[in-house]
A and B are shown apart, each in its own frame.
Chain A
């Protein structure tokens, strides 16, 4: 019996996604995606309705960061895709697996510039620079092949967004075959020879150090073991924060931005860099000074000899590679002084802070005390978060998130919604500055509609504070950075959320505890100028 014969491409695509383990898609339906919607109704997949496709993209990003599984955004051609581009760019910069599934204009109109609804000269050319690949399915049977390719990227390559576009006429085509999930590849294992060379360097190192990035999220145990056996200090990137717990005696947290950490890194004679770009966004330095020999472990071959050429270049999955190093390291004496040095440097983190950072620390300390250890922080880019990167401890990977690479504004709230849906049993909180919060403020409505318990710490420093500071520093007259704010409390309530302004540490703690048990998101406004932060 041909039970599949009556499915069209839109329906069959959704069914296949279900087989790939997709349980949630984020999007906004439109005239061009109706046939996907037909399939969604017959599936177990949860469709989450954002208020702008940018929100849908960020939600997919947050879902992926919290779950480790690809996030899926389902959008219309044209504006749906271009609205989602910033979220795709953020996922690209931070190596987050994301599937952007869209419609495209009818296949017989493509490339002709006919002025069709939602037309761009080439939708896939528009997304190509932001994706691992971007492709159009010009007939039905290309769809399962493209999805197999996408999920192969997610399972084995440096994860990055993939865009698959299906023209409206293809969406309506009948599907005659059963679409199935093929065998998917795994991340490559390192070669024994390279591992041996790395071990030799590490064994003979006078002062080894380890830099970990987002690519090492699954390698925490192995890296901790290697660090302890060597007595090596560990520095996280923003995305590597918590892979070795911030509270570990060898951890320098994600402190690359601190001068004392950069100086300490210069003392290393061997640096093991795992799944990290050693990017400027971690240090705010165009180039870090790393005189030591660098062992790089990465699955992206292009990372091996970028700004920091490697002495030993290991292509391999982070966990497999670090486990191999731990196994092959052999007899080695742990460097004894490191723990003392790390403790001294960590103490220095709380010195030489400016007035703003001192206020940040006060709030962050209250938050750390109030939030359960397993809380996922999905933050927006703001000054509070810059300080938190080194002044707020987390014990596991992927608990501390903000898009440091692409440095988008407005991702915090929708990312938190995505994370909350991915991990319903885990507390999620977002920190956002007032300027950034405005970029996606409408997603409050989505959060309210979903009835999510989500504390939103709104850090109100009255405008685009970082840019104000930059203009002042460069002696540029302030232009366009001190815009007036809405009444955030009234606005959040009108969007269906709870909202309150707090003026004490106790008030903040109580508000968070209440918010975790609420039937909807709660905006908790914290004003930088309030006296309790003096």
Chain B
């Protein structure tokens, strides 16, 4: 029987989301969003309820980082939106696509300041600062247009979070004039012939070139490998570009960008090709040495302004990384390649020799995780082994190692983001690596993990407090305050949530625990004592 009732905007919305390929919605239903749920059971969209909207945002982030696709979040007005802002800001900093759909008070109440439920003076303004755009749907027939705009961003621009808010009266309004389907296929901009010719000329004139690849090159691993090999040039990867050149590639410096020998080499280079990277401080600044570039710089970025930030370019190409690298490769068919393999080996050796022993140990710890669980995706928080891993851990491909220590640098990301990644890739091992301080930020998401029966090993790097901040205080001669905190018994906490939980003290125990956790029917918290793990 045909349903003659006119659909509401809320019902039309979920159908449109499905048409655009959205698969998962993260949200905590509330009084203001119940009408977004009316149509949901009639779609194939999977709904996940986290325990806090911050968890919803981080889960959507983890989902997007492994798939390259946005997930949706359904968020209530007011507190729901202020709860998710940190996650949106992390996604904004790291250019992660995310579609945040929220309610807002009735359109005839906006801006009046009448003390309505969940009211904000301007929710849209609040969210605009951490979004590519934030839009209030004033009339039902805007709905398909604004969704098209969101997907234009995700598919053709520098990705990031988009916020669309629907007033309560619009959610329930008849969707008579809302278009039913997705717009046609979207493409990304390529480089012009002139730009490629100029870049090729610069590359051909270079004597000491250097390549830096950033997160914008994540979808271009093949193009990157071919171009780097054709040029034969040493290449550094930012943390968000890990795996764009596979572990062991003889021209890859891995992510040793912040280390002095590598920074010195960039400074001495006469030509730097920087693709899809901010060259931002969280990519380059870990120790006291700053990024300085004296040579010519070619910057390639999907966002025009980004080609001018931090380092001014000699020439810039505003285009997709994959298309640009492919075009350069094609135009360099007759290039007489460098052979930087020995240079790379020497730079690696020099850097590794200088690195603090703990960071090397962190790298070895992560290598052990990867040896134990082949193809593993490691989702990290801002925690010490992640800082070491940022430098020394290398992956076989992109989208297998990411964390919140880059960009926004938030705490509490590592658990929910790992859950989002595991939801996307159920058959791939996904590990969460988080410190004891960070885990407490989003602790309640252990309940979500149990509910979803996700076999995620949660590695808690336990240094009983905020180790990184403590180190800074000691360095600055500040008596330590608020960093040696009371730490709960994480094993008992995890069991209280219904997780499996275990403490390990030897390498062999750790390996066994990790394997068990990966094949368990629920999440397992593995408490890792820092002082022992450094020797594994």
Query: Which A residues form the contact surface with B (CB < 8 A)?
Result: 27-31, 34, 37-38, 40-41, 47, 49, 51-52, 54, 78-79, 82-83, 85-86, 88-90, 92-93, 112-122, 125-126, 128-130, 277-281, 302, 306-307, 405-410, 438-439, 441-442, 445, 448-449, 464, 466-467, 470-471, 474, 476-477, 479-481, 483-496
- Residues of A near B115 (CB, < 8 A) are 93, 277-281, 405
Partner of B481, one of A37, A485, A486: A37
Which partner residue on chain A sits nearest B479 by CB separation? Answer: A41
CB distance from B137 to the nearest CB of A (A): 19
Could you tell me if B51 and A439 are in contact, using CB atoms closer than 8 angstroms? yes
Query: Contact mask B451-487 → A, CB, 8 Å, 1/0?
Result: 1000000000000001011001100101101110111
- Residues of A near B450 (CB, < 8 A) are 484, 486
Could you tell me if A120 and B79 are in contact, using CB atoms closer than 8 angstroms? no
Which partner residue on chain B sits nearest A52 by CB separation? Answer: B441
- Do A115 and B93 contact each other (CB < 8 Å), given the known contacts A307-B114, A407-B118? yes
CB distance from B435 to the nearest CB of A (A): 13
Query: 7 nearest interchain CB pairs?
Result: A115-B280, A491-B496, A494-B492, A279-B115, A490-B496, A277-B115, A79-B410
CB distance from A237 to the nearest CB of B (A): 9
Partner of A121, one of B122, B129, B440, B442: B129
- Residues of B near A486 (CB, < 8 A) are 446-447, 450, 496-498
CB distance from B214 to the nearest CB of A (A): 10
- Residues of B near A442 (CB, < 8 A) are 440-441, 443-444
Query: B293 near A: Cβ within 8 Å?
Result: no
Which partner residue on chain A sits nearest B468 by CB separation? Answer: A31
CB distance from A375 to the nearest CB of B (A): 26
Which partner residue on chain A sits nearest B118 by CB separation? Answer: A407
- Do A470 and B86 contact each other (CB < 8 Å), given the known contacts A79-B408, A496-B488? no
How far apart sit A38 and B126, CA to CA, in the bound complex (Å)? 32
Which partner residue on chain B sits nearest A121 by CB separation? Answer: B129
In the complex, chain B residues 56-81 whose Cβ is within 8 Å of any chain A Cβ: 78-79
- Residues of B near A83 (CB, < 8 A) are 54, 86, 410, 441
- Do A279 and B114 contact each other (CB < 8 Å), given the known contacts A29-B466, A486-B498? yes
CB distance from B285 to the nearest CB of A (A): 8
Could you tell me if A34 and B482 are in contact, using CB atoms closer than 8 angstroms? no
Could you tell me if B49 and A481 are in contact, using CB atoms closer than 8 angstroms? yes
Could you tell me if B120 and A120 are in contact, using CB atoms closer than 8 angstroms? no
Could you tell me if B117 and A78 are in contact, using CB atoms closer than 8 angstroms? no
- Residues of B near A86 (CB, < 8 A) are 79, 82-83
Query: B28 near A: Cβ within 8 Å?
Result: yes
Known: A92-B120, A466-B31. 5 other contacts (CB 8 A): A37-B473, A279-B115, A479-B47, A483-B451, A485-B447
Q: Which of B36-44, B185-193, B226-234, B254-262 forms contacts with chain A?
A: B36-44
How far apart sit A405 and B34, CA to CA, in the bound complex (Å)? 19
- Residues of A near B535 (CB, < 8 A) are none
Query: B180 near A: Cβ within 8 Å?
Result: no
- Do A118 and B79 contact each other (CB < 8 Å), given the known contacts A438-B51, A493-B492? no
Query: B390 near A: Cβ within 8 Å?
Result: no
- Residues of A near B487 (CB, < 8 A) are 445
- Residues of B near A113 (CB, < 8 A) are 305, 309
- Residues of A near B121 (CB, < 8 A) are 129-130
Could you tell me if A281 and B481 are in contact, using CB atoms closer than 8 angstroms? no
In the complex, chain B residues 349-388 whose Cβ is within 8 Å of any chain A Cβ: none
Could you tell me if B496 and A494 are in contact, using CB atoms closer than 8 angstroms? yes
How far apart sit A52 and B411, CA to CA, in the bound complex (Å)? 9
- Residues of A near B489 (CB, < 8 A) are 494, 496
- Residues of B near A488 (CB, < 8 A) are 496
Partner of B482, one of A49, A278, A408: A49
- Do A494 and B488 contact each other (CB < 8 Å), given the known contacts A47-B482, A117-B281? yes
How far apart sit A459 and B54, CA to CA, in the bound complex (Å)? 23
A-B contact pairs, 9 of them (CB 8 A): A79-B411, A121-B130, A407-B118, A409-B79, A438-B51, A441-B443, A466-B31, A486-B498, A492-B496
- Residues of A near B278 (CB, < 8 A) are 114-115
Could you tell me if A491 and B497 are in contact, using CB atoms closer than 8 angstroms? yes
Could you tell me if B478 and A483 are in contact, using CB atoms closer than 8 angstroms? no
Could you tell me if A471 and B29 are in contact, using CB atoms closer than 8 angstroms? yes
Which partner residue on chain B sits nearest A302 by CB separation? Answer: B113
Query: B52 near A: Cβ within 8 Å?
Result: yes
How far apart sit A121 and B79, CA to CA, in the bound complex (Å)? 21
- Do A41 and B305 contact each other (CB < 8 Å), given the known contacts A34-B476, A115-B282, A281-B117? no
Could you tell me if A494 and B481 are in contact, using CB atoms closer than 8 angstroms? no
- Do A47 and B481 contact each other (CB < 8 Å), given the known contacts A89-B79, A477-B41? yes
